[in-house]
A and B are shown apart, each in its own frame.
Chain A
Amino acid sequence: MKKIALLLIAVLALNIFAGCTVSNKLSSDAPVTLNMWHVYGSQTKSPLNDAIDEFNKTFGKENGIIVNIVSVTSSSAIDKALLASANNEPGADELPDLFTAYPRVAEIVGKENLLAWDEYFSKDELSEFSDDFISEGYFDSKLLMLPIAKSSEAFYVNKTLFDRFCEQTGAGYSSLSSYDGIFKTAELYYDTTGSDFMQFNDHYHYFLLGMKAAGEELITDGTINCESEAFEALWDSLARCAIHGGICLDDGYAATRWKTAEIISNIGSTADILYQPDVVIYADNTSEPIQSVSLPYPAFGNSPLHTVYRGGGLFAIKSEDERKNNAAYVFAKWITQKENNLDFVSQTGYLPVKKDAFDTLFEGKYHVESENCRQLYETIEIMKENYTFVPVPLFEGASDVQHNFETNIKFVLKSARNRYSEGVSDGQNEKQIMDELVSSALDEFRVLCAS
C-alpha cells in the first residue's frame, strides 16, 4: 500500500512539474524561432522566401520551428551587417540565427561562433552533397558553411535591344562567344549609341578565369599575381574597352542599368536571371518590353574554357539553446532535400547541391517553369559539358582582397577613361593616349594592389 502510494505521488508530481523541465527536443507547442538573413532573391521576388513559407506551414509547424526572414539583401550588405553585429556597433542588431553568405564571413563572425554542420548531419547525409560544393564549406576540418544553392557565371544579353543594334550595325551573336568579340562589340555599341554595352559584376572573376585559361593562378600566397604576362594581356583587352567606352565602371549591380537600358549585357551570376527585368523604362517615363538571353561564359581566345562556380552557403550561429541548433539542422536538411532544393533553385538560376538533384535537373527529369530559367539551364548544361568549373579561392583575407580588387580596378579604369575622354576632346592621338593610359592604369593598379 505504501509503495503504491509513493509511486502514485511520484507519477503525479512528475506530471505536475513536467512543464517546468527544459527539454532539448523540438515541440510544436513551444516553437523555436530562427531569424534569418539571406541573399537568395530580389526585393521583387524571393523563391527562398516562398520555400521558407512552405516550410513554416508544413514541416516547420510539425516540428516546432519558425524561420523568420528578417532580411533579403545582397551578400555585401550581409557582410557589412554581420561585421557591425560582430563588433557590437551602435544600432547593429543581434546576429541572426541563420544567414547565407560567402565563406569570407567565417572570419568576420568568428569560426568559434558558428555551428559545425558535420556534428549534426551524418556522414551518409553529407555524402549526398556534391563533393566540390561541400568541400568549400570546411574550415579547420569543421563544416561551417552548408551549401544550399550554388551558381555559376554566364553572359546575359538584352536580346530585344541587341537585335536592334545588330540590324543597325551588322554585329552578331557569334562575336559574343569570346571576350575579344565582346570587347569589340562593346566599343562599337558605345560608338554607335554613346552608352555602355556591358558591365562586369566581378572583374575579379574575369582575371581569375583568364589566368586559369592561360595556365596561371591569379592568387599566389594570398596576394594578387598582377605582374605576370598573362595578367597584363587580360588587362590590356579589358582596359582598352573600358577606357574607350563600352564597359560600365560604376558601382552597383547591372540589373538596375538593364532596367533603364543604360547597358544591354552583363557578365554575372546565373542567379542574376531573377533580377533580369522584362521591361525597360526610359528617362521620359516610356517603357518597352524586352527579351533576354543567357549565353555561355565567354572564352579567352582559344584557351580551354573555364567558368566559376560561386555562391555562398548557409551558416548558423552556435546557440547555447540546443533546440535552436537542432532547429537549424532540421531546416538545413529540409531545404537541401532533393525536391525542396530543386523547387527553390530552379526558379532562381542556381544549381542544386546534391548529386541526385543535380542529375535530375540536367537529365531533364525536372520541369523548370520559367522560360528564361529553362534557357539558362540549357546554357549551364553546355558549360557543364565543355567547361571546367573553378571555385573562387578561399584564403585568409580573401574578402578584403576581392573587395579591394574591385574598388581599385574601377577607380583606375574610370580615371583613365575620363583622361582618355578629355585627351580625345583635346585632339590628342587616340591610339597613343590609349596605349599610355592602359599602361599607366596598370601601373597604378599594381601600386594599389601592393599597398
Chain B
Amino acid sequence: MKKYVKIKNPNSSMRGRFAVYIISVILIFISVIILLFGLFGILNPANKQISDNLDTLLSRHTEAIENDTDELAACAISLAGQLESDLQSFLSENNLLFDNLENNKDALDKLQLEMYSTLHLNMQVAHPSGAFLILDTSVSCPSETQYYNGIYLKYINLFSDNTVNNDFTIFRGSFLTGHENSITFHSGWKNECRTDFFEKSEELFPDGVHYILSPAVEIPDTWETARYVYVPIRDIKGKIVGVCGFEINDLLFRLSHKPDVSELGFVVCGLLDNKENISGQFNSNRYGITDNFSYTKKGSLIQFDFENESCIGKTDSISLGNDSFTIAVMMPKNAYDMLLKKEQLKFVSIFLIIAILALCCSIYMSKKYISPIVRRIEQIKSAQKLDNSLKISEIDDLFDYLEQRDLLAEERLRQLEEDKHSAEIEAEKSRQAYEAALKECELAQIEIQRLSESTQAEINADEYDYFISNLGTLTETERKVYELYLDGKKAGEISEILGIKPNTIKFHNKNIYSKLGISSRKQLLKYAIIKQYQDSKSNKES
C-alpha cells in the first residue's frame, strides 16, 4: 500500500517508479506461476506429498502381502488335501484308525516317512521359510507335557530362490525321518512339538474360514520369530486331526518385502498384529523394533514410537484368514521432519531467487533505460557538449518541442509588452483628459458658487427663511412632488410617476406654494438650489 502510495506520489523518481512497476509485474507473474503449479499439483504442500507417497507404498505392500499370503494359503490347502489322502491310504493299508496311532511309535515313524515327501515337495513349490504337518497324537501319551507328532522342516539358506537345491533341516520330526532322508538336524531339533506350539480346535476353522494366519510368535528353541499359514487336516469323517501349513519367518518377510528406498528415504513396512501388545513382522531391523511399541494418530499420519526411534507413517487394515491385521509403512521421524523443512526451504528459496532475480532485473532495466535518460538530462541541464552515445531521440524531440514552445512564449511575451506599452500611453491620455475635465469641473463649481452667491444676494431673506422653516410642514405626497420638481420633472411627469391626476398635482402645487410662501415653480427651484448649496457648504465645513 505504501508502495502504491509512493507510486502515486508525483515527487517519486522515475527510476523508483520504474523498479516498483517491474517488481510488481514480476511478482504478479510469479504468483500466477505458483497458482498454476498449485493447481496442477506441482507445488503441493510437502506433507501432502509425503502422505501421498506413503499411501502408494502402503497400497503396494498391502497388495503384495495379501497376494503372498493367499498363495501360501492356496498351497497349504493343496498340501492338506494331499496329506489327508496320504493319511487315509496309510490307515487303510495298515488297518488302523487314527486313534490307534497314539503311542504307536512304529506306525507314526512309518506315517511320517510316507508324509515327508509330500511335505517336502509342497515346501519346494510354496517357497516358505518352513513347512510343517502336526497331528493330534503323540508317541508319549500321557506325559507331563503334551506333544504333537509331526514333521517341521526349515530352509537353511533363505536367500536362495532355488528351492529345489536349497538345504533344509528337520526342526521337528522323528529321528528316523531325518536319518532316512539324510536331512540335517536343526540345532533346536526335537522329535515332537509341544501342544502349546499350535492351537487346534474345530472352532478355529468355522465354515467359510479356509486358512489361518497366526500372529508373529517366537519359534521355540530358535532366535527366530515367525507367522504360520495353516489349514486343518481332516480324517475321512471330516474331523480335524491336525494342521499343516507354512512358516513365514522374519527373514522371509524381509526378503519378500524389501524396504523401499525412495525420495522419502528408508521406508519400512510392517505387518502388525491387532493385539493388546502390538507386535509384528517388519521388513527391516533398522528401528530396534521391539515387541511392544505404540502408535498414535497425528493428522492424516501415524506416529510410531519404538524403543530407540520414532517414525511417521500410515496404516491400513487388512483381513487375512480369519483375522484382521494392520499393515504399516513408516519412515524415521527425523527424516520426515527434515524432508518437510527441506521442501519448505526449497519453496521459500525458489520464491526468494525469483524475487531477487526480479530485483536484479529491475535494477538492470533501470540502469539500461533510465540512467541514460537521467544522464542525458543532466548533460542538457549542465549545457555540456552533448554526447552522441547518449542520444535518445524521444528526449531530443521533447527538447525540440520545448524549445518551440519557448519561442512561442517569448513571442507572446513580446506582444504582451507592446500591448502594455500601448495601454500605458492610453492611460496617460485618459489621465490628462481626466485632469482637464476636473479642471473644467472646478471652474464650473466656481461659476456655480458665483451664481449662487449672486442669486442669494437677489432673493428676499425673509421669504427664503419662511421657505426653509416651512419645508417640514409638507405632507408626504407634497414632499414627493417637491423632490420630483427638484429632480427636474415636470407636472405631467410627476402625475405619471405618482399615479395621480394632473388636477391633484395642481392641488398639491397650490398647497406647497401656500405653505412655503412662494408663488411660482421657478421661485421654488431657486430657493431649493440655494438650500442645497448651503447644506453642502455646511457639511464641508463640519
Contacts and interface: CB of A to CB of B under 8 A. Distances in A.
Interface of A: 1-2, 5, 8-9, 12-13, 15-16, 19, 28-31, 33, 35, 37, 41-46, 49, 53, 56-57, 61, 66, 68-71, 73-74, 77, 80-81, 84, 89-93, 96, 251-253, 255-256, 259-260, 275, 277, 281, 283-286
A71 B159 contact: yes
A62 to B, nearest CB: 11
B189 A77 contact: no
B154 to A, nearest CB: 8
Given A42-B188, A68-B254, 12 more contacts: A19-B342, A30-B266, A44-B187, A66-B284, A71-B156, A73-B157, A74-B156, A91-B160, A252-B184, A252-B185, A255-B185, A283-B191
Given A1-B363, A56-B285, A12 B349 contact: yes
A284 B139 contact: yes
Contact of B165 (A5, A43, A61, A91): A91
A126 to B, nearest CB: 30
A77 B175 CA distance: 22
Given A71-B159, A84-B162, A285-B139, A9 B169 contact: no
B271 interface: no
B398 interface: no
B276 to A, nearest CB: 25
B221 interface: yes
Nearest to B105: A284
A28 B265 CA distance: 10
Contacts of A74: 156
Contacts of A260: 175
Nearest to A52: B285
Contact of A71 (B105, B157, B161, B259): B157
Contacts of A80: 167
Contact of A77 (B156, B221, B259): B156
B284 A92 contact: no
A231 B159 CA distance: 41
B285 A285 contact: no
B360 interface: yes
A29 B221 contact: no
A399 to B, nearest CB: 18
A60 B62 CA distance: 29
Interface stretch (B72-80, B351-359, B404-412, B507-515): B351-359
Contacts of A275: 187
Contact of B353 (A12, A35, A43): A12
B285 A66 contact: yes
A6 to B, nearest CB: 8
Contacts of B185: 252, 255-256, 259
B345 A56 contact: no
A43 B175 contact: no
A68 B346 CA distance: 34
B350 interface: yes
B157 A9 contact: no
B162 A285 contact: no
A179 B451 CA distance: 188
Contacts of B164: 91
A8 B351 CA distance: 13
B223 interface: yes
B529 to A, nearest CB: 96
A2 B360 contact: yes
Nearest to A252: B184
A45 B139 CA distance: 28
Interface string B254-279: 11000101000110000000000000
A43 B352 CA distance: 59
Contact of B251 (A70, A284, A285): A70
A93 B161 contact: yes
| A-B CB proximity, top 9 nearest | A91-B162, A256-B185, A42-B187, A57-B288, A12-B349, A44-B188, A285-B140, A93-B159, A91-B161
Contacts of B162: 84, 89-92
Contacts of B158: 70-71
A19 B263 CA distance: 10
Interface of B: 105, 138-140, 147, 154, 156-167, 169, 175-176, 182, 184-192, 221-224, 251, 254-255, 259, 261, 265-266, 284-286, 288, 308-309, 332, 334-335, 338, 342, 345-346, 349-350, 352-353, 356-357, 359-360, 363
Contacts of A285: 105, 138-140, 147, 191-192
A42 to B, nearest CB: 4
A71 B168 CA distance: 13
Contact of A81 (B159, B221, B308, B352): B159
A29 B265 contact: yes
A194 B161 CA distance: 42
B265 A43 contact: no
A212 B488 CA distance: 177
Given A49-B223, A73-B157, A285-B140, A9 B356 contact: yes
Given A5-B360, A37-B159, A30 B265 contact: yes
A16 B265 contact: no
Nearest to B164: A91
11 contacts: A13-B349, A15-B346, A29-B334, A30-B265, A43-B186, A73-B157, A77-B156, A77-B157, A89-B162, A91-B163, A259-B189
A286 B357 contact: no
A19 B349 CA distance: 14
Contacts of A49: 223
A28 B163 CA distance: 36
Given A13-B353, A33-B259, A44-B221, A73 B156 contact: yes
Nearest to B138: A285
B159 A70 contact: yes
B181 to A, nearest CB: 12
A281 B160 contact: no
B356 A8 contact: yes
A43 B147 contact: no
Contacts of A66: 284-286
Contacts of B165: 91
Nearest to B161: A91
